[in-house]
Amino acid sequence: MAKARRQFVCQSCGAVSAQWSGRCDACGEWNTISEEVAESSGVAGGPSKAAGSKGRQISLVPLAGETKEDPRRTTGMAEFDRVLGGGLVAGSAILVGGDPGIGKSTLLLQATAMLARTGSRAVYISGEEAIQQVRMRAKRLGLADAPVALGAETNLRDILATLQDGPPPHAVVIDSVQTMWTDALESAPGTVSQVRATAQELVRFAKKSGAAIIIVGHVTKDGQIAGPKVVEHMVDTVLYFEGERGHHFRVLRAVKNRFGPANEIGVFEMAEGGLMEVSNPSALFIGERDRETSGTAVFAGIEGTRPVLVEIQALVAQSALGTPRRAVVGWDGGRLSMVLAVLDARCGLTIGGQDVYLNVAGGLRIGEPAADLAVASALISSLSGLPLPADTVIFGEISLSGSIRPVNQMEARLKEAEKLGFTHAIVPKTGGRQKPAAGNLKLTEIEDLGSLIALLSTGQKAKKQAVG
């Protein structure tokens, strides 16, 4: 056996240093460096090198050629299959992360049970719960009759030996990678070395056997997969299970997918019988909104390939503190600061000395810049105290000059808005581009934020005159 050598590894980012220090030089975290044993060969290291040996030649093939594409294996959960790109691909490795208690084990147990009911061989390996606990959850969800092979083990060598015995399974769930350990390393389970080595062996088994491996990973306080980022690089698909504790909605988001579109989302609703699929999330996200309240705007966004309508809520209030507060839920705080600066510098709106609260209703997280115009509209509405028209959707990107830039997939956004009963849309001016097909929607194209303020104020004046 090769002689073990000592090294100091950061448990937050995976950086390796020659000596211990209180602060990691790579990520800046304190008290995250611990001493581990590194093997020069085996699971964690690469294959041993013989001195003077030559490598073998590999066969090179032309780029053009016929390659048989394996059909995807659908689980029966439409939202789960949608995020995967159509179903499980044979030999793929999938990493699923999420906050503790968000519902990762429940989701994967439901997907595994539904997959097993279709005749596929499915295995569920739990390293965090006993067999009795998993059976109790399956009974509560009504899945006790599903032909799922269940196991409770943390030794990676024993798990691989069990999976290699007999015909390979179609799908294997490992819950979770932080509890698994290999005897090739002396470090404790959950350390960077163990997580990296375990993930590497599981991916290797998936590629050799053709089984789809689904690995559950815990997340840190920052919402990232615990362990080195190299784990995300090794797998084919990375999924994040998101959701606010106070909301009953859960969003499964693909941040990386080699076999389908990235940033695709699947929406679930947490109920007594487990996670229920939401086929039309837009109707739920905007179904309970208050139409006559100022500071709200409906944004037509794109998540992956799916158009989603959500409500943007903003509140501008007088600050009682020396430094005004900026609270953001569901959107980028830096993006909000930019929109506030543009409104102040280009439009003369004095918002800098006031508290600003921004919320995306329903617990959904939005990352695209197309929400800038909806956020600005909600802020202007809250500042003026005048509600926006309830039948209007808004989207567009704001530049630092105050102009409104066009966004992609405008027709898909407008079709989704029309399907849900909206009659008016405020959109960026297309310029030289072809004007999007709006159906029966009335389009109002604007060029800058000044036009938006004039439009909103004119609309409110006309509404007041009509009421009077």
Average per-residue pLDDT for the chain: 86
pLDDT of residue 400: 94
Task: Assess whether pLDDT exceeds 60 at residue 75.
Answer: yes
pLDDT at residue 19 in the model: 85
What pLDDT score was predicted for residue 225? 57
Q: Does pLDDT of 51 surpass 70?
A: no
User: Among all chains, which residue has been given the structure tokens 């002689």?
Assistant: 3
- 139 confidence band (pLDDT: 50, 70, 90): very high
- Is 105's pLDDT higher than 70? yes
Residues 316 and 384: their CA atoms lie apart, in Å, by 9
Query: How high is the pLDDT of residue 293?
Result: 86
Sequence-separated (6 or more) residues with CB below 8 Å from residue 28: none
Section 389-408 average pLDDT: 93
pLDDT above 60 for 114 = yes
What pLDDT sits at residue 460? 52
pLDDT higher than threshold 50 for residue 24: yes
Closest CA to 106 of 118, 94, 114, 116: 114
Average pLDDT on 371-382 reads 95
- Residue 330's identity, in one-letter code, is G
CA triplet 143, 146, 152: central angle to 5 degrees?
A: 85
Query: How far apart are the C-alpha atoms of 229 and 239, rounded to whole Å?
Result: 14
| pLDDT (average), residues 175-180 | 90
Percent of the chain past pLDDT 70, that is, above it, reads 90
Highest mean pLDDT among 1-5, 53-57, 129-133: 129-133
Instruction: Name the least confident of 42-56, 207-221, 327-341, 350-364.
Output: 42-56
pLDDT of residue 462: 41
- Give yes or no for a contact between 151 and 159, defined as CB atoms under 8 angstroms apart: yes
Mean pLDDT of 253-278: 90
Cα separation, 225 vs 99, in Å, equals 10
pLDDT cut 90: percent of the chain above it: 53
Least confident interval from 38-52, 194-208, 404-418: 38-52
For 230-257, b/e burial (b = at least 16 CB within 10 A) is ebbebbbbbbbbbbbeeeebbbbbbeeb
Give the sign of the dihedral formed by CA 273, CA 279, CA 285, CA 289: negative
* Digit-coded pLDDT (tens) for 301-327: 999 888 999 999 999 999 888 889 999
Q: How large is the average pLDDT for residues 70-84?
A: 90
pLDDT at 41 over 80: no
Which of the two residues, 332 and 43, has the higher pLDDT score?
332
Q: How far apart are the first and last CA of the chain?
A: 90
pLDDT tier, 122 (very low <50, low <70, confident <90, very high otherwise): very high
pLDDT digits (tens, 9 = 90+) for 208-249: 999 999 999 887 655 555 555 678 889 999 999 988 777 788
Residue found by looking up tokens 């992360």 in the block:
97
Residue recorded with tokens 């929406």: 267
| Predicted structure pTM score | 0.82
Tell me the backbone φ, ψ of residue 340, rounded to 5 degrees.
-65, -40
pLDDT above 70 (res 93): yes
Tell whether the model's pLDDT for residue 282 goes beyond 70: yes
For position 461, what pLDDT does the model report? 45
pLDDT value for 121? 95
Q: How far apart are CA 171 and CA 75, in angstroms?
A: 10
pLDDT value at residue 466: 38
Q: Which domains does the chain have, with CATH numbers?
A: 5-38 (no CATH), 78-279 (3.40.50.300), 283-467 (3.30.230.10)
Predicted confidence band of residue 463 (pLDDT cuts 50, 70, 90): very low
